[in-house]
């Protein structure tokens, strides 16, 4: 247990980190809020005991990094090949983990025979591929990335040109309908990158497609955000807005291929922000990182993952685990005390302590000492809102400022804050009434 003592103008702040009740692995920590924490897995690493040890210990969802893609599963037209994919699926399921299927239809990593096709022949080949692969894995897949990366980068907000797109704009919905028929129990996702920033044209384009699909009854259940970040493409500050707006369309959202280039506390902070963004949206059902150790990454030189090349936990690991455990990160204190006046002679002290946390709200408790005749001012920061109180009578000076007085219940009261993705603590200050 570590203690942090800091001082701010006019207020003493005393803090300590929580000790018990915290989960010690990513998967277990995510499960506390009904979420999962997954990783991409490569079949050719399943003989590496360090790799498999971390996989089995930390993660409860698995995505095949390459083995379920079109070139892997249908190397020759009409000849399906599931050996490596099965190795990953069986390893995961034997360990009680679930599987995200990735990906049924994509312009990239197509088998050679498909790259050269066009028109109706290509459309039918694509639909047959979707049907065959989704049928083969029926009942074993939590969610399928039915279509991957179909939108263009840049300012157009429109579709990416590809052989599949040239078969007609309805190719995406046709793929989703085929997948639904083949495996009615799997969630069906659209998955893409550069869709994290709400003001980005590509994000808006995908949003409009999902809105259109929902309004016309095209079967779509989820949207995947790949989340490959680096200094040129940083974690956007409006990430929770993006996730929340998509979720409001009536789909789950998932972070599907997370990696963030960098190191140390800067990398850890960005991982913390992504994790908090997911936790702030009730329908953000889980996070998958795109590999286990930095050396396993498709961008290994950027050291973008949660474990170093030797399999040690990085600072980023600790920050993600901390957020999953308590919503705010490992170094966050659990109490803060403000003292007004002279505590020895007629002043009072208000101590704020964290209560329960949920994806959309948290509780706070305040204990007052020094007087039974107190007035405590609680200030929350936008977009937070106090939505309930207990053991106090409360009035509001403005939407952000609550004045609490005794109501005969003693000197401890509490309140619930709807946080809108802002996990900052309210500030409390006490005056003698």
Q: Which residues are catalytic?
A: 149, 257
Q: What HEC string does 372-395 produce?
A: CCEEEEEECCCCCEEEEEECCEEE
Asked if residue 227 lies in contact with residue 320, where contact means CB atoms within 8 angstroms, the answer is no
Alpha helices (H) along 296-379: 315-326
Which residue's entry shows tokens 């808006």?
A: 204
Give me the least distance between CB of 311 and ligand XIL, in Å please.
19
Please identify which residue in 33, 39, 66, 377 interacts with ligand XIL, judged by CB under 6 A.
66
State the number of binding residues for ligand XIL (CB under 6 A): 6
411 contacts: CB under 8 Å, gap ≥ 6: 367, 368, 369, 372, 374
Sign of CA dihedral 159, 165, 169, 172: negative
- Using Cβ positions, the residue closest to ligand XIL within the complex turns out to be 298
Please identify which residue in 58, 60, 173, 257 interacts with ligand XIL, judged by CB under 6 A.
257
The residue among 295 and 334 lying less far from ligand XIL, judged by its C-beta, is 295
Asked if residue 37 lies in contact with residue 27, where contact means CB atoms within 8 angstroms, the answer is yes
Please identify which residue in 33, 73, 84, 148 interacts with ligand XIL, judged by CB under 6 A.
148
Give me the least distance between CB of 44 and ligand XIL, in Å please.
11
* Strand (E) or helix (H) holding 3: strand 3-8
Give me the least distance between CB of 114 and ligand XIL, in Å please.
16
Q: Judging by DSSP bridges, how do beta strands 187-192 and 143-148 pair with one another?
A: parallel
Give me the least distance between CB of 42 and ligand XIL, in Å please.
7
The residue among 45 and 177 lying less far from ligand XIL, judged by its C-beta, is 45
Which residue's entry shows tokens 């990906």?
A: 103
Please identify which residue in 73, 84, 110, 226 interacts with ligand XIL, judged by CB under 6 A.
226
Give me the least distance between CB of 343 and ligand XIL, in Å please.
58
What is the per-residue binding string for ligand XIL in 334-363, x denoting contact by CB under 6 A? ------------------------------
Where in 298-317 is the site for ligand XIL (CB under 6 A)? 298
Give me the least distance between CB of 96 and ligand XIL, in Å please.
25
Asked if residue 30 lies in contact with residue 7, where contact means CB atoms within 8 angstroms, the answer is no
Q: What HEC string does 153-166 produce?
A: CCCCCCECCCCCHH
163 belongs to the binding site for ligand XIL (CB under 6 A): no
The residue among 193 and 413 lying less far from ligand XIL, judged by its C-beta, is 193
Other C-beta atoms closer than 10 Å to the C-beta of 236 total 19
Asked if residue 432 lies in contact with residue 347, where contact means CB atoms within 8 angstroms, the answer is yes
What is the per-residue binding string for ligand XIL in 19-38, x denoting contact by CB under 6 A? --------------------
In the complex, the residues that contact ligand XIL under the rule CB under 6 A are 65-66, 148, 226, 257, 298
């Amino acid at each position: 247990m570590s203690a942090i003592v800091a001082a701010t103008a006019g207020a003493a702040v005393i803090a300590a980190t929580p000790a018990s009740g915290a989960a010690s692995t990513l998967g277990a920590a995510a499960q506390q809020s009904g979420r999962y924490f997954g990783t991409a897995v490569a079949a050719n690493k399943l003989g590496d005991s360090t790799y498999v040890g971390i996989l089995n210990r930390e993660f409860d969802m698995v995505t095949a990094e390459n083995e379920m893609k079109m070139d892997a599963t249908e190397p020759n037209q009409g000849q399906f090949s599931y050996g490596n994919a099965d190795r990953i699926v069986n390893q995961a399921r034997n360990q009680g983990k679930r599987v995200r299927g990735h990906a049924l239809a994509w312009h990239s990593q197509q088998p050679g025979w498909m790259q050269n096709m066009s028109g109706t022949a290509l459309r039918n080949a694509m639909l047959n591929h979707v049907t065959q692969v989704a049928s083969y894995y029926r009942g074993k897949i939590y969610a399928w990335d039915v279509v991957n990366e179909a939108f263009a980068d840049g300012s157009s907000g429109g579709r990416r040109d590809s052989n599949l797109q040239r078969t007609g704009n309805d190719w995406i919905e046709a793929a989703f309908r085929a997948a639904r028929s083949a495996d009615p129990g799997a969630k069906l996702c659209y998955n893409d990158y550069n869709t994290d920033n709400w003001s980005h044209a590509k994000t808006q384009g995908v949003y409009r497609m999902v809105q259109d699909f929902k309004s016309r009854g095209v079967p779509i259940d989820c949207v995947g955000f790949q989340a490959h970040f680096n200094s040129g493409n940083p974690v956007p500050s409006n990430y929770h807005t993006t996730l929340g707006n998509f979720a409001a369309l009536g789909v789950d959202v998932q972070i599907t291929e997370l990696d963030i280039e960098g190191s140390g506390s800067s990398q850890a902070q960005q991982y913390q922000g992504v994790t908090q963004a997911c936790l702030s949206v009730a329908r953000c059902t889980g996070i998958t990182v795109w590999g286990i150790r930095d050396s396993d990454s498709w961008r290994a030189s950027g050291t973008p993952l949660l474990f170093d090349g030797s399999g040690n936990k990085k600072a980023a690991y600790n920050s993600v685990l901390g957020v999953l455990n308590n919503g705010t990160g490992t170094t966050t204190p659990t109490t803060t005390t403000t003292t007004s006046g002279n505590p020895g002679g007629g002043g009072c002290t208000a101590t704020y302590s964290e209560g329960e946390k949920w994806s959309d709200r948290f509780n706070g408790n305040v204990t007052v000492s020094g007087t039974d005749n107190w007035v405590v001012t609680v200030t929350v920061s936008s977009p937070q809102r106090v939505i309930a109180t207990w053991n106090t009578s409360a009035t509001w000076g403005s939407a952000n400022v609550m004045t609490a007085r005794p109501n005969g219940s003693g000197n401890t009261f509490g309140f619930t804050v709807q946080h809108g993705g802002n996990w900052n603590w309210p500030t409390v200050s006490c005056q003698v009434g």
